[in-house]
Chain A
Amino acid sequence: DGGITQSPKYLFRKEGQNVTLSCEQNLNHDAMYWYRQDPGQGLRLIYYSQIVNDFQKGDIAEGYSVSREKKESFPLTVTSAQKNPTAFYLCASSTSGTKHTEAFFGQGTRLTVV
């Protein structure tokens, strides 16, 4: 079945370590997104990518990095520079052409930094 997969579902890391969250989609979508969600809050945009080898900062990009080497994959690295990395991270994808469709979300990765 087509969809968007995030792994792992739960991730624990020690403070000061970089960690990479995986996001893969087989929907042939051009656009992909990373969001962060804190308890009781809405989604905040970290990075987004329209096409392969191109990405843009969202509203809270500091302390994060991304790459888009393949259309299917958009990994997010949470670096040691991110002051408060413990959060629920969501990846999404959508078409970016003229046809207007919805965005599809993964099930999220809950990152806990201890």
Chain B
Amino acid sequence: DAKTTQPNSMESNEEEPVHLPCNHSTISGTDYIHWYRQLPSQGPEYVIHGLTSNVNNRMASLAIAEDRKSSTLILHRATLRDAAVYYCILRKSGGYQKVTFGTGTKLQVIP
């Protein structure tokens, strides 16, 4: 399975944008890039996913490099409620996808 690499932790000031990076140099053509986040003592929740083009939704934006070997999750204005562990994972298209997670990036938001 293709692996992802993320920084262990990041800090951001409240109300400022946050850019969370993810490297996936061994990504295959059928891998979708997914982002999830996990608040303390809760299950992870879906944030966004994409394949090749940049994606936007109400929670965040996903910027995907042209060679697809890296991506960046963008939170446009960090709030205290965005403090969580963010996971970048790869899932194959179609059929069954075994979903595996790494250790993620712990985001601290400073008031």
Interface, chain A (partner B; CB < 8 A): 6, 31, 33, 35, 41-45, 48, 50, 56, 58-59, 88, 90, 92, 94, 96-98, 100, 102-108, 110
B104 adjacent to A96 (CB under 8 Å):
no
Main secondary structure, interface of B, reads loop
Complex formed: what's the CA distance from A41 to B99 in Å? 16
- Quick check: A33 and B99 within 8 Å, CB to CB? yes
Residues in B whose Cβ lies below 8 Å from that of A97: 94-95
Contact: A92 with B43, CB < 8 Å? yes
Among residues 40 to 82 in chain B, which have CB atoms less than 8 Å away from a CB atom of chain A?
41-46, 49
The CA of A98 and the CA of B30, in the complex, are separated in Å by 12
**B residues apposed to A, CB below 8 Å:** 32, 34, 36, 41-46, 49, 87, 91, 93-104
A103 to B49, CA, bound (A): 11
The CA of A88 and the CA of B43, in the complex, are separated in Å by 10
How distant is the Cα of A100 from the Cα of B43 in the complex, in angstroms?
A: 21
Residues of chain B lying within 8 A (CB to CB) of residue A92: 43-44, 99
Query: Are A45 and B100 interface neighbours, CB within 8 A?
Result: yes
On chain A, the residues within 8 Å of B43 by CB distance are: 6, 90, 92, 105-108
Whether B98 contacts A98 by the Cβ 8 Å rule is no
Give A99's nearest chain B residue, CB to CB. B94
Indicate if the CB atoms of A100 and B94 lie closer than 8 Å.
yes
7 further A-B pairs in the complex, CB-CB below 8 A; given A56-B98, A90-B44, A98-B93: A41-B103, A43-B100, A44-B101, A45-B100, A100-B94, A105-B44, A108-B42
